[in-house]
Amino acid sequence: MPLLEVDNLTQLFSGLCAVSELKLSLEERELVGLIGPNGAGKTTVFNIVSGFYQPTHGEIRFQGRKLTGLKPHQVSALGIARTFQNIRLWKEMSVLDNILVAQHYHLGYGLGGLFLRTPRYLKREKDIRNRAFELLEIFKIDQFAEEKPTNLPYGMQRKVEIVRALSSGPKLLLLDEPAAGLQATDVSELITLIQWVFDQFDLSIWMIEHQMKVVMSLCSQISVIDFGKLIASGTPEEIQRNPEVIKAYLGDDQL
């Protein structure tokens, strides 16, 4: 059974067809890419998978469970986490708090326990905090735990956002253009980081990326969409040679 199945997905925005009859599937322990020209509907696909949009038609199944109709926080609880194209960390909270809040769905205590400070509450809060620190240490950013994200360099903010997504313990990590806005040196660092995350954590990664260097060096499988339609899928080498893809990116010269 595939980890994620996207079946005949169609998304209409008052007449505009953003995604059209998209069919895709993702296996466990896979690092795959989704590419396409600007406005092709890549982020829309991610927004549907994470429950932010309800698709017009079609279905998404995660580990055999239907995702359509679920709220974003319920999707997140099932084990899908994501990052955003334009970093969306909570800017006025410390890095540590950002990572704590992302564990919100499995707090394991009620309001009664919270106000009375029951032993269970204290233990759970401690566990959550330890887990956050553990992650910060693994990624060597524990020295920034009390810092506000806006005080960190852009590349570091990306890293924090990835750590935040990982803190909920996802089985599928969606990365929406992780290299956007990064400098060339930071990009190679990011490639190493993503590969490392994939090796260290038991999860699948699905990423949208514009920079070919990133996609080509990381992904085992790539899907290409244009105007919301799947136009090609295959290994990086196949994609690079595919005439449809070249046409979508470079334009049709046989006009």
Please report, as ranges, the residues that interact with another protein according to CB under 8 A: 50-52, 71-73, 76-77, 81-82, 84, 88-93, 97, 100-105, 107, 109, 111, 114-115, 117, 121, 125, 128, 164-165, 168
* 128 vs 194, beta carbon nearer another protein: 128
Q: Tokens standing for 222? A: 């790539």
Residues 6 or more apart whose Cβ sits within 8 Å of residue 130:
none
Tell me whether residue 128 or residue 230 sits nearer to another protein (CB atom): 128
Q: How far is the CB of 112 from another protein (least distance, A)?
A: 12
CB of 172 to another protein, least distance (A): 13
- Buried b / exposed e along 162-180 (16+ C-beta atoms within 10 A): bbbbbbbebbbbbbbbbbb
Nearest-approach distance from CB 216 to another protein, in angstroms: 28
* Beta carbon of residue 161, minimum distance to another protein (angstroms, whole number): 9
The least distance separating another protein from the CB of residue 79, rounded to whole angstroms, comes to: 10
In 3-95 the beta strands, taken as DSSP E runs, fall at: 4-13, 16-26, 31-35, 57-62, 65-66, 80-82
Q: Which of 47, 22, 58 is nearest to 227 (CA)?
A: 22
CA distance 108 to 155: 33
Distance, CA of 103 to CA of 124 (rounded, Å): 11
- Give the nearer residue to another protein in terms of CB position, either 50 or 204: 50
Count of Cβ atoms closer than 10 Å to residue 53 Cβ: 17
Q: For another protein, which is the closer residue by CB, 21 or 97?
A: 97
Name the residue nearer to another protein (CB basis): 37 or 72. Answer: 72
